[in-house]
Amino acid sequence: MKSFRWIPILLIVVFISACTSSGGGGIVGIFETPTPLPPPQVGITPAPDAQAAVTAFLEALQTDDFEVMYNLLSQASREGVTLEDFSKRWNNVLNEMSASSIDFTVLSSTISPRNAEVGYSITYKTVLAGDIQRDIVMRLVNEDNAWKVQWDDALILPELAGGNLLAMEYSVPARGDIYDNEGLPVVTQSEALAFGISTGEIDPDLRGTLTTELGRLCRIDPLDIEDQIDFSGPGWYLPMCEGTREEAQRLLSIRPGGLVVSEYTSRYYHRGGLAPQAVGYTQLISPEQYNEYRRKGYNGSERIGQTGIEQWAEDYLAGQHGGTLRVVSPAGQIISTLGQSSPKPADSIYLTIDSSLQEYAQDAIAYFRGAVVVMEVDTGRVLAMASGPNFDPNYFEAENPNNAGLGNLVNNSRTPMLNRAAQGQYPLGSVFKIITMAAGLESGLYLADSPYDCQYEFTELPDRILYDWTYEYCQQAIARGEACNTVTTRPWGLLTLQEGLMRSCNPYFWHIGNDLYTNWQRGADIANMARGFGLGSPTGIQQIPEASGQILDPQSQIDAVNQSIGQGDVQVTPLQVARFVAAIANGGTLYRPQIVERIQPVDGDPILAFKPEANGVLPVRDENLDIIREAMFMVTGPDGTARRDIRGLQFSVAGKTGTAESGSGLPHAWFAGFTDNEANTGLPDIAIVVIVENIGQGSEYGVPIFRAMVEAYYYGSPQRQFYDWGQIGYPPYTPTPPGGGVVP
């Protein structure tokens, strides 16, 4: 009996233990088994995601991030190959393949704590060998709880195991040609002749013949050649120009002493380069471009378009390269062929440019900084686009002995390679008054015959007095001892709005800008009208680079006044001005300027053919557009600012002179206008814009060039060889203005 005394006590202990193990949340039955705690983890970390490591490796491959790929290699792999060699191996293979992109899919994986194998499918999309698809297994090792790739060449392609290489055999078509709108050559692959002068071998008896004939061929003033010879002295080579045998037939038949002729095969730019800033030039693929073009199927030794049409149309002008991709042993033996393609001939580009008109435009602006744009008013077709100073794109041919001037060309402070027609940004000066006039008319506050007393002074600003351009001319006349009684030295007096444009009365347009800003809280009207005319944004030409210009809302009275005459922060391109002048002429449609007529393959229909594309409408009612057009015809009439050099012209033209203060030096000379002769001549009407930088008055420098372009268009050549300031295409006499006077 005594041995059973401890049973109740034992039952109590068991009961208390059961309650304790339940954590207070319940009671475990006496005969239940409690859940054991998990054993502690000792020395083993769960394996990371091997598929994620493979994905990261291949995603880095898609972006050529070889450093990221290298950092994903195992320690042993990195000890066996440097980052430089690893990157070079991948880059060379991708270039040789002409791999344009890479796709991959991770398929499956086998993973243990220390090692993994991940299968994936990879497709190299190549330009010349088609798609190359392989299923590959990547081996990985777990290092410090991260999966690392065990590198092998077979991870690129199984065929490359053991150090095998890829080799592409290329078939490259000849580069396509560029022609003008009549099919005359602008750029072709041909034999060319470089002409120069050896000053020590000149025959004195034929020196005049030498300079005259070279001047004719190279379109250089013979007197300039004479000056170069005299300045250089004997023992020098003077590069002149390039030409074809046909172009130089007369000079070659004479062969005067001192003439040096060197023959080479090249991409030849005819006539020393027609519209070179727009057409552009080619050069060898640069180191920075090498990988990009190898991936496009180039072998790396080709010349490619670097600017202008040559660059824009590279895919057409280069044709389609062909190639055969092979696997070769380290010793160069062919093992297998992976893919191949056949070449296709290049396409030809036909421009809207008229070669003859373009040459005259280049001659007119060649010695200045400036631009000339000629555009059909009803289509947007660009017939001429000249930028001065000019340059010879043949200088970019390494085989051309005249290319010694390339360094001077590239480093020239006058920036001859800048296409001032589309990329030059300038204050528009008084040509902008057309826009101010449109804003005034559309506001309803001004009519065609709204009067204004145009005097010397403008006194509407609280803190300053502004002076009309006639005041400056009057001061110059007084300095010469003359009376101020001519049309350029006396104020006009009472004017209508149309007459204000005709006489380019600054106070009238200052008044409109200040009136809209101050009295009617319509300060943005003129800026909005300018934007509606296409200023401050690209024209959409697409085929060549262009600048946007700048039109800002005025923030003060002086801003509004300056903007009203195209000064202050106004910035425009000549191409933009040609576009809106053409729209005024055609009834209000803003066409996208275009410089490519068609892209023509060797066989078949054109790939691309010109068609007019309207991309805007002037925000001006028809009746107000008629008022503006009529005023522009008055500008070229007997009382207008363009009367002198338009007088006697046999074709109806309208326009507006402009003289824009540049902030340094003499003002820029503008003239912008259009013809109105299609009904009489059958030729499409054209808009012409001329700017000559830092030269003087638009009426003296812009108008003569405008007239020369009109005559060249209708007659085939300018009819007046000499102007008050010199011959078209040669440096004019530039007088120092006695008082800085400006004729708008």
For residue 422, being part of any structural domain is answered with no
Same domain, 64 and 2: no
pLDDT in the model for residue 518: 95
Same domain, 17 and 61: no
The stretch 384-413 carries a mean pLDDT of 87
pLDDT in the model for residue 403: 85
Boundary of a domain, candidates 292, 327, 351: 351
pLDDT in the model for residue 730: 45
Same domain, 638 and 513: yes
pLDDT in the model for residue 325: 98
Same domain, 649 and 536: yes
pLDDT in the model for residue 46: 52
For residue 153, being part of any structural domain is answered with yes
The count of structural domains within the chain is 5
Domain that holds residue 292: 282-351
**What pTM value is reported for the model?**
0.87
Same domain, 24 and 61: no
The stretch 387-403 carries a mean pLDDT of 91
Long-range contacts of residues 546-553, Cβ cutoff 8 Å, at least 24 apart: 546/422, 546/423, 546/573, 546/575, 547/422, 547/423, 547/424, 547/425, 547/573, 549/425, 549/573, 549/576, 550/425, 551/527, 552/527, 553/523, 553/524, 553/527
Same domain, 59 and 18: no
Paired tokens of 140: 């990985």
Q: What is the pLDDT of residues 656-714, one digit of tens each?
A: 999 999 888 899 999 999 999 999 999 999 999 999 999 999 999 999 999 999 999 99
For residue 558, being part of any structural domain is answered with yes
pLDDT in the model for residue 731: 45
Same domain, 8 and 97: no
Looking up residue 90, the CATH number of its domain turns out to be: 3.10.450.100
Phi-psi category of 665—alpha, beta or left, where left has phi over 0 and alpha has psi -120 to 50? left
Same domain, 459 and 502: yes
Same domain, 574 and 482: yes
For residue 601, being part of any structural domain is answered with yes
pLDDT in the model for residue 48: 76
Same domain, 501 and 635: yes
pLDDT in the model for residue 615: 95
Q: What is the mean pLDDT of the chain?
A: 90
pLDDT in the model for residue 398: 87
For residue 401, being part of any structural domain is answered with no
Same domain, 255 and 318: no
SS3 for 160? Answer: helix
Same domain, 545 and 455: yes
For residue 364, being part of any structural domain is answered with no
Boundary of a domain, candidates 118, 142, 161: 161
Paired tokens of 193: 């002749």
pLDDT-derived band at 47, boundaries 50, 70, 90: low
For residue 385, being part of any structural domain is answered with no
pLDDT in the model for residue 406: 77
pLDDT in the model for residue 663: 84
DSSP H or E run through 340: strand 334-341
pLDDT in the model for residue 137: 97
For residue 615, being part of any structural domain is answered with yes
Q: What is the pLDDT of residues 119-161, one digit of tens each?
A: 999 999 999 999 999 999 999 999 999 999 999 999 999 999 9
pLDDT in the model for residue 744: 59
